């Protein structure tokens, strides 16, 4: 028997936010193979940031003696931190599922969906059964999963990914991290702060290689002062023995660890859905192809978030979901124009130590795109009043010596990129995002508003003033 729905949503992360009371007159199915809330709530940004907060407390305490405060830091109570986090996360996920199940017009199918035809699906249920569904509209919010590379011996050791590492039973004495992107760097920061000996392996010549080169170099130098960072090398194979897991690198060196975290990227789940059977096209990375309205190449099939976005970020998925929601309502009501997803100025942040935040082009990208029209300014945190509280005897600390770097076009006077590294970078970047999103000119931007003294926001103010002076030079 086949059940027909007005709307089927595959994925209960950001996709779950689409269905509000304006859909109460429709028959809706939500299909989810894991806990409600998706990657962000259960395995990603929310629990990881809850782990990072105690890590930051540890880092601050370690600074105590230098600043004249007698502090002592021991190994973290991993079990207490983990249980505090997941008691709340798991309750939230379960509550989300139960709330949907209690809705009169929504059916929840727990299992893995795959297409068998045009807007026709079969769901292999968690309990072993299956159901067949058809729909007038389908939303693909199926997310992504960690990449597991073909490394020799990896299948023979008990490795972790970002999906599993936060629920391990105990703090590992020695942790190996494969990957120097934001996931690897955030988790290396957590475990190093908690007391693990960390070795991080990255094939590029710096960590966070996708960031602006100056920011990446500054971050890498700071990380190297805290734990073992191996750059420009590949993990050739792994083996398991009495001493734990041995990482064999292609430069001939090795590292002995107790737990290995594989954090080399993520892959969309489109292959699990067999989207080609529905006429849904994907690109060379497996991302579902969508237009500016989040429509796929198949009629009445929509996609959002990690399933279709080159920016695998929760705030992008949420924006995509709002676009899909508005456009579904417009199509279903037969009135109103479709709205467009604006992906021009997508910010990102790395919640490691120090924090990193960016929006727009890197210097290398801007030079390639704008050439001699590019103007750059940089202002150091240590040169503003709040920076004095962080500096002093901590002059070699990557956080105290952070900076704001701004890029603009001389011909337009508009920002094209902003890059920050230092305390609260994820917050300080916001006025720069706003300036870019609303095409606000650099000239006058600093002096058109008050900047609280002596807050750290003054580093943004001064960077803007430096950039204005460079534009006028």
Could you report the per-residue pLDDT of 283-317, keeping only the tens digit for each? 999 999 999 999 999 999 999 999 999 999 999 99
Please give the model's pTM, rounded to 2 decimal places. Answer: 0.96
Over range 311-336, report the average pLDDT: 95
Q: Is 453 a known active-site residue?
A: yes
Same-fold call for 154-264 versus 354-472: no
CA distance 48 to 89: 11
CA distance 345 to 44: 22
Taking 80 as the threshold, does the pLDDT of residue 222 lie above it? Answer: yes
Instruction: Determine what percent of the chain is predicted with pLDDT higher than 90.
Output: 92
Cβ atoms 375, 421 nearer than 8 A: no
Taking 90 as the threshold, does the pLDDT of residue 429 lie above it? Answer: yes
Q: Tell me: the pLDDT tens digits for 83-128?
A: 999 999 999 999 999 999 999 999 999 999 999 999 999 999 998 8
pLDDT at residue number 208: 98
pLDDT at residue number 335: 83
Q: What is the band of 243 on the pLDDT scale with cuts at 50, 70, 90?
A: confident
- Candidate list 53, 240, 285, 453, residue with the active-site label: 453
Give the mean pLDDT of the chain: 95
- Where exactly are the structural domains of the chain? 2-43+82-146+267-333, 154-264, 354-472
> Which single residue is written with the structure tokens 């940089």?
378
Taking 70 as the threshold, does the pLDDT of residue 363 lie above it? Answer: yes
In this structure, CATH architecture of domain 354-472: 2-Layer Sandwich (3.30)
Instruction: Determine what percent of the chain is predicted with pLDDT higher than 70.
Output: 99
Cβ atoms 40, 46 nearer than 8 A: yes
Taking 90 as the threshold, does the pLDDT of residue 395 lie above it? Answer: no
Name the more confident of 392 and 468: 468
Taking 70 as the threshold, does the pLDDT of residue 350 lie above it? Answer: yes
CA distance 348 to 364: 18
Report in angstroms the alpha-carbon separations of 27 from 21, 120, 288, 369, 418.
12, 16, 25, 49, 45
Taking 90 as the threshold, does the pLDDT of residue 400 lie above it? Answer: no
In this structure, CATH architecture of domain 2-43+82-146+267-333: 3-Layer(bba) Sandwich (3.50)
pLDDT at residue number 241: 85
- Of 2.60.40.10, 3.50.50.60, 3.40.50.1820, 3.40.718.10, the CATH number of 154-264 is 3.50.50.60
Taking 80 as the threshold, does the pLDDT of residue 392 lie above it? Answer: no
Residue 300 is encoded by which pair of tokens?
């009445």
């Amino acid at each position: 028997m086949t059940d027909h729905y007005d709307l089927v949503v595959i994925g209960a992360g950001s996709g779950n936010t689409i269905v509000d009371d304006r859909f109460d007159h429709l028959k809706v199915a939500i299909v989810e193979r894991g806990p409600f809330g998706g990657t962000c709530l259960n395995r990603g940004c929310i629990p990881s940031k809850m782990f990072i907060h105690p890590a930051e407390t540890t880092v601050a305490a370690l600074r105590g003696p230098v600043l004249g405060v007698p502090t002592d830091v021991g190994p973290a109570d991993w079990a207490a931190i983990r249980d505090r986090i997941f008691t709340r996360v798991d309750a939230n996920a379960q509550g989300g599922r139960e709330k949907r199940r209690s809705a009169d017009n929504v059916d929840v199918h727990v299992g893995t969906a795959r297409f068998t035809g045009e807007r026709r699906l079969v769901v292999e249920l968690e309990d072993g059964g299956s159901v067949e569904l058809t729909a007038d509209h389908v939303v693909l919010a199926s997310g992504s999963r960690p990449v597991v590379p073909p490394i020799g011996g990896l299948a023979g050791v008990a490795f972790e990914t970002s999906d599993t590492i936060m629920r391990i039973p105990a703090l590992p004495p020695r942790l190996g991290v494969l990957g120097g992107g934001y996931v690897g760097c955030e988790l290396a920061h957590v475990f190093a702060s908690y007391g693990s000996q960390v070795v991080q392996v990255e094939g590029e010549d710096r960590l966070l290689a996708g960031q602006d080169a100056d920011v990446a170099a500054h971050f890498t130098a700071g990380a190297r002062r805290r734990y073992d960072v191996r750059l420009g090398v590949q993990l050739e194979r792994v083996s398991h023995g009495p001493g734990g897991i041995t990482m064999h690198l292609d430069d001939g060196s090795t590292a002995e660890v107790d737990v290995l975290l594989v954090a080399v990227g993520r892959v969309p789940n489109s292959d699990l859905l067999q989207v080609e059977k529905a006429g849904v096209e994907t690109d060379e990375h497996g991302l579902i192809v969508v237009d500016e309205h989040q429509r796929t190449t198949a009629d009445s099939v929509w996609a959002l978030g990690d399933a279709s976005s080159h920016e695998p970020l929760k705030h992008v998925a949420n924006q995509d979901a709002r676009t899909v929601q508005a456009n579904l309502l417009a199509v279903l009501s037969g009135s109103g124009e479709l709205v467009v997803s604006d992906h021009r100025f997508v910010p990102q942040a790395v919640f490691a130590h120090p924090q990193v935040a960016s929006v727009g082009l890197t210097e290398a990208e801007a030079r390639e795109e704008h050439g001699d029209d590019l103007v750059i300014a940089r202002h150091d945190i240590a040169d503003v009043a709040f920076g004095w509280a962080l500096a002093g005897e901590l002059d070699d600390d990557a956080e105290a010596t952070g900076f704001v770097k701004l890029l603009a076009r001389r011909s337009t006077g508009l920002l094209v990129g902003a890059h920050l590294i230092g305390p609260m970078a994820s917050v300080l970047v916001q006025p720069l995002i706003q300036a870019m999103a609303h095409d606000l000119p650099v000239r006058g931007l600093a002096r058109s508003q008050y900047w609280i003294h002596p807050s750290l926001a003054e580093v943004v103010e001064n960077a803007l003033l430096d950039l204005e002076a460079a534009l006028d030079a």
